[in-house]
Amino acid sequence: MRLLLVEDDRDLNRQLGSALEKAGYAVDRAYDGEEGGFLGETEPYDAVILDLGLPIKDGVSLLKEWRAAGRTMPVIALTARDRWNDKVQAFDAGADDYVTKPFHMEEVLARVRAVLRRAAGHAQSAISCGPVTVDTGAGRVTVKGELIKLTSHEYRLLAYLMHHQGRIVSRGELTEHMYDQDFDRDSNTIEVFVGRLRKKLGVDIIQTVRGLGYRMEPGGAA
C-alpha cells in the first residue's frame, strides 16, 4: 500500500515516515503544499496524511483542489490546531479523519489502517480470503492459523490484493502501489513476488488472469 505524507516539519516527517515504512507501507514524502499538491494530483495513493499548516499552499486548499479534481483517496488531516472550527473546516474540505498534534505514533498508524479498510469496504483489521488472514493491526499473516513470514514487499503485495480481493489487479497497478516514487520500478518483478507468495502461502487463492493481471479469490484455496 502506498501513502503520501505531506508535512513541513522535517523531523516529524522523518519520524512519521519511518514509522509508516516499518509498518509495511511505501511512503512518498513532501514538505510543502506545492510539492504535495503535485504528487497528490499525479500519483495513485491509497491514502494521504496531510498537515494543514503548510508553506506555499495550505492543506485545506490542497484538499479542496484534490476533491474538486475527483481525487478520492482517503485523507487524514494532521495539524497542531485543536479548535473545533478547524476540524469542521478540514472535514468540509474532504478530510476522512483528523489527528491533532502532539500525537502518539500508534494512533496515526491505527487511523491509517482504518481509512484503508473503509476505502476497500472492510470493517475489521483482520482481512481474510479463504484460509489466509492478514491482521493489518499486527502486520501478521496466517494460513489456517499458522503464522507465515513474509518480506516487506511480499507483505505489501499480499495486503493490496487482500484489500482488493475479487477484482482483477494489473501488474502496473501493483507496481504503482507497492513502491515509492524513488524506487526503480519494474513490473516484471511482480511475477517474482507472486510466485514467492504462492509458494509461502501454499494455497491456490491468487489467480493469474492472462493478459490482465491477478485476482484473489477464496474459491481456489486448497
pLDDT one-digit tens code per residue, 35-74: 999 999 999 999 999 999 999 999 999 999 999 999 999 9
Instruction: Let me know if 155 is exposed, middle or buried by CB neighbors in 10 A (0-12, 13-18, 19+).
Output: buried
pLDDT at 221: 42
Residue 27 banded pLDDT, cuts 50, 70, 90: very high
Work out the pLDDT band at 21, boundaries 50, 70, 90. Answer: very high
**The domain over range 2-120 is classified in CATH as 3.40.50.620:** no
Check residue 183 and give its pLDDT. Answer: 64
> Is the pLDDT higher at 83 or at 46?
46
Kindly indicate the confidence band of residue 189, based on its pLDDT and cuts at 50, 70 and 90.
Answer: confident
Report which secondary-structure segment, H or E, holds 175.
Answer: helix 171-178
Q: Evaluate whether 16 touches 9 at the Cβ level (below 8 Å).
A: no
Locus of grid cell 493478459: 211
Q: Which pLDDT score is estimated for 115? A: 94
Domain with CATH 1.10.10.10 in the chain: 126-220
Contact 136, 125 (CB under 8 A): yes
Instruction: Tell me the percentage of the chain whose pLDDT exceeds 90.
Output: 73
Confidence class for position 125, pLDDT limits 50, 70, 90: confident
Q: Which fold has domain 126-220?
A: Arc Repressor Mutant, subunit A (1.10.10)
Look at residue 182 and tell me whether its pLDDT is greater than 70. no
Please report the pLDDT score of residue 180 as a whole number: 78
Percent of the chain scoring above 70 in pLDDT: 95
Sequence-distant (≥ 6) Cβ neighbours of residue 46 within 8 angstroms: 1, 2, 3, 73, 74, 116, 119, 160, 177
Coil vs helix vs strand at 83: coil
- The residue-averaged pLDDT of 82-89 equals 80
User: Mean of the pLDDT values across residues 158-184?
Assistant: 87
Residues linked to residue 128 through DSSP beta bridges, in sequence order:
133
Residue span(s) of the chain under CATH 3.40.50.2300 come to: 2-120
User: Does pLDDT of 220 surpass 60?
Assistant: no
